[in-house]
A = this chain, B = another copy of it.
Amino acid sequence: MSTGLRLTALVVRIGFGKLGNIGSAPLLEFLLDERAERKDIQVRVVSSGAKMGIEDAADVAQKLSEFKPDLAVVTSPNASLPGPTKLREILINGKVPTIIISDSPAKKAVQDIEKIGAGYLIVEADAMIGARREFLDPAEMSLFNADLIKVLTVTGVFNVLWQEIDKTIQSIKKREPLTLPRIVINKEKAIETSGLKNPYARTKAMAAHEIAKRVGDLTVEGCFVVKEWERYTQLVAAAHEMMREAAKLADEARELDKAEDMILRTPHHDDGSVAQKRELLEKPKRLS
């Protein structure tokens, strides 16, 4: 009946499946509904924590499917690994439109993802953590993520993520045929979406993005190439210092826009639409 149809249309069910961690994952669902006011979506997140084996993936997929999502968003490091592959296959097999969010190594999976009909948002700056026992403990893990989240926010990466998911949600609400996003978010795509206005804020943000991306070169070298523990410990420690610096530079970029009172703010309304403002003391205006 039409009522039922309308209700389905009004509230889009979004299922987030998370395997392991990347910087884009921990706050992802909150980017869509930052003040918990939104009435047009219902969210479930299922995660296997740090593990991303095939059985974990299958179980997460199962739980997510029971939620009957209108849209699935799957996050994991390196989406070409068997676990993430299994997860998206089960979802796609269950006819759930699925967007993959992953990091640079996921580029290897792009063809595979396209073939099964999923979308993807590959985040180049979402660099691998320095996962060596001589270095990485809970505190170092947490600080790295805090720095990375700051970089991904200011440089515009998170804007790409939630805007693309929001676009898909809008299409679902309008019952349009879905065109899932297929984007590699590089430094230029990110900055263009960052909303930063001062040109030096933009170039500083681009520099922060590049530094964050290059963190991955050192962590990969430190985790997979170098075998002597004194050497790899220094490499991954240097990588985290780079990320700390990238976060400080991102912060500096945002402060430049504060200096001219032109921080872009794009809060969600309870109907899922997005408003916009630049001056701190103005009311957000609904985008037409």
Contacts and interface: CB of A to CB of B under 8 A. Distances in A.
Interface of A: 16, 18, 20-21, 26-27, 29-38, 42-52, 59-60, 63, 66, 131-143, 145-147, 149-150, 152-154, 158-159, 162, 187-188, 191, 195, 198-200, 202-204, 206-207, 210-211, 214, 217-218, 229-231, 233-235, 237-242, 244-245, 247-249, 251, 254, 256, 258-261, 263-269, 275, 277, 279-281, 283-284
B146 A158 contact: no
A125 to B, nearest CB: 13
Nearest to A45: B47
Contacts of A217: 210
B143 A242 contact: no
Contact of A266 (B138, B187, B242, B247): B138
A159 to B, nearest CB: 7
Contacts of A141: 27, 30-31, 34-35
A31 B154 CA distance: 25
Q: Which 3 A-B pairs rank lowest in CB-CB distance, beginning with the nearest? A: A43-B49, A26-B26, A206-B238
Contact of A158 (B37, B138, B218): B138
A73 B31 CA distance: 23
A136 B35 contact: yes
Contacts of A237: 199-200, 203, 280
